[in-house]
Structure 1
Amino acid sequence: MTASDLPTTVEATQRLLAAGGYVADRALSTTVHLALKMGRPLFLEGEPGIGKTEIAKVLAAGLPRRLVRLQCYDGMDLSAAAYEWNHAKQLMAIRLAEVSGGGADRESLERGIYDRRFLQERPLLQALSPEGGPAVLLIDELDRADEPFEAFLLEILADFQLTIPELGTIKAATPPVVIITSNRTREVHDAIRRRCLYHWVDYPDAVRERAILTLRAPQVPEALSAQVVAFVQKLRTGDYFKLPGVAETIDWAAALAALDARELEPAAVDETLGVLLKYQDDIAKLRGAEAARLVAETKAA
């Protein structure tokens, strides 16, 4: 995959995303296009469930490139994210050398055990490796990792390389497409932001959400699809702990269709709120009279 194989226009990038089932607006398509054309990492921030991770998956399938995913979590360190030496194999190599009596001095032996064959590659190093071809590197939910971990990423984001003290610097022959996502549970450091292009992925408007639902859940009847989107759009204006994302809209519409619903009814809404909302306080607040009111407003509209 070379630069000439990448989309040449914003419209071509938008078509590439659409071919993978991702309905992107012009602003997002432009930012993705610039990240590809300029060879810059893309930092996507927004609420959970609105399609940030999906962008990396669609790009990997559409370019096409192998997808390398680093799922971040609290306490993650370099050995889990980048590389780790296989100490068991190193120890075995040392013992074999001692038994064979090859006469190698200690310095040569130490150099030998820090060979690439003893290196266990984790996602960051896998994305730089030429094996399997160019990659899309997804660093998912960076805000879940500890702040000090971000320092490990700076060299990769700036130069698409990783320095291993015992081995040297490993640089990607073809830089990976890097997508970083954050749900903003904490602020990501400015040093990361400066190395990336940035886009806030917001909730879609009703027209785009209808298009997404039609594309991702074609089995849902058209009338029900329209009512589901209108209901969710109204719900997002309320005061809830966790508003439903696009993923929840798709799941809820599919669940209602699986129950053979043709249109929204208060009883069906109450029975399926666990698909749409993920916190009991939110469900209790919506269930009953409030759900019936939103259904009535949705149908009236």
Structure 2
Amino acid sequence: MFDDRSSAAPDSPADVSTALRDTGYLPDEGIATAAFLAASMGRPLLCEGEPGTGKTALAHALSNAYGVELIRLQCHEGMDAAQALYEWDFPRQLLHLRTLEATAEGGVDTDRAEAELYTSRFLLARPLLRALWQAPCVLLVDEIDRADDEFEAFLLEVLSDYTVSIPEFGTVRARRPPLVLLTSNRTREVHDALKRRCLYHWLEHPDLRREVAILRSRVPGLEERLAEQVAEAVRRMRSMELLKPPGVAESIDWASALLALGRTELDTATAAHTLGTVLKYREDAQRVRASEGVLGFGT
């Protein structure tokens, strides 16, 4: 997937792990292996897991690690092919046509006008088309589970051979496949046809040791004791039935907030007062404050 403008292509999962760690993303062996296989086999990688487990961050880290552009397609309900692939710039086409009419002597050559209107100059490339044109790159198809069935079927067709046909323009084929990461929070099941096209990896929340390492990597100046307390408290929250269990991003925010307050250790009062950095629903904060042991730190 990489060319001579980027860093060398990975030779092993260990290479991927090292490259990701250099960007501050600390993968486990499963993530590194899945990313390596996606790159070496030219297959899309479907990453599923709870929100906050690092799915989107993985795409950003791969882009940074190998010096290629990240192109993101954020999926949503009602998305159609035009929003993901291309549109013609009709206002500029109309302006160009009027210019031809104003400057032409003896009338506009319609064949010439049509040929000039349907060129790359007037083509608005959306994320999928940009990825085909600009590969090597990382294409992030974020939250595919939010898109409709029809768009999922369209995406499957594009990812089958990394080729699209534009009637007025011609066929666009990627020189080499982009590295494609699809993410899903499982608000609905992705269809089997798309899953068969992809490699698959389920991302778990990091274990305590890895989350401490992530916190210390992402929050400069964070001491190990405070990192352990934050990671342990967040681990307890994730074991509760919350509306939105905290992810790694919330752990990082909490640790950063505690440093901003000048704390070197986490006590119960400070934890209770700073829950807004890690929990985003009033009901979750109330449930955590009322639960014995979750915020059980020294005073």
Q: What secondary structure does 1:295 align onto?
A: coil
Cα pair 2:3 2:136 within 8 Å, conserved: no
The aligned residue for residue 178 of structure 1 is 180
The aligned residue for residue 197 of structure 1 is 199
| Alignment counterpart, residue 125 of structure 2, candidates 111, 121, 126 | 121
Cα pair 1:221 1:257 within 8 Å, conserved: no
Q: What secondary structure does 1:129 align onto?
A: helix
Q: Distance in 2 between matches of 1:226 and 1:31?
A: 28
Q: Distance in 2 between matches of 1:168 and 1:154?
A: 20
Q: Distance in 1 between matches of 2:99 and 2:265?
A: 72
Q: What secondary structure does 2:295 align onto?
A: helix
Q: How many residues are treated as equivalent by the alignment?
A: 294
Letter matched to residue 39 of structure 1? G
Match status 1:210 vs 2:212: yes
Letter matched to residue 295 of structure 1? L
| Alignment counterpart, residue 154 of structure 2, candidates 152, 155, 175 | 152
1:5 Cα deviation from its structure 2 partner: 2.6
* More divergent stretch after superposition (267-276 vs 256-265): 256-265
The aligned residue for residue 261 of structure 1 is 263
The aligned residue for residue 35 of structure 2 is 32
Letter matched to residue 57 of structure 2? E
Q: What secondary structure does 1:293 align onto?
A: coil
* More divergent stretch after superposition (185-194 vs 99-108): 99-108
* More divergent stretch after superposition (80-89 vs 30-39): 80-89
| Alignment counterpart, residue 82 of structure 1, candidates 79, 85, 89 | 85
| Aligned 1:270-289 pairs, distance under 5 A | 270-287=272-289, 289=290
The percent of aligned pairs where both chains have the same amino acid is 48
Letter matched to residue 35 of structure 1? A
Cα pair 1:264 1:295 within 8 Å, conserved: no
1:77 Cα deviation from its structure 2 partner: 2.1
| Alignment counterpart, residue 61 of structure 1, candidates 51, 58, 64 | 64
Q: Distance in 2 between matches of 1:177 and 1:15?
A: 18
Q: Distance in 1 between matches of 2:183 and 2:212?
A: 24
User: Structure 1 167/255 Cα, relative in aligned 2: closer, same or farther at 3 Å?
Assistant: same
Unpaired runs of 5+ residues, structure 1, are none
Q: Distance in 2 between matches of 1:95 and 1:236?
A: 62
Deviations 1:177-224 (A, max 9, x none): 111111111222222211111101111111111111111113222211
Letter matched to residue 204 of structure 2? D
1:106 Cα deviation from its structure 2 partner: 4.1
1:269 Cα deviation from its structure 2 partner: 1.2
TM-score after normalising by structure 1 = 0.91
Letter matched to residue 202 of structure 1? E
Q: Distance in 2 between matches of 1:126 and 1:282?
A: 41
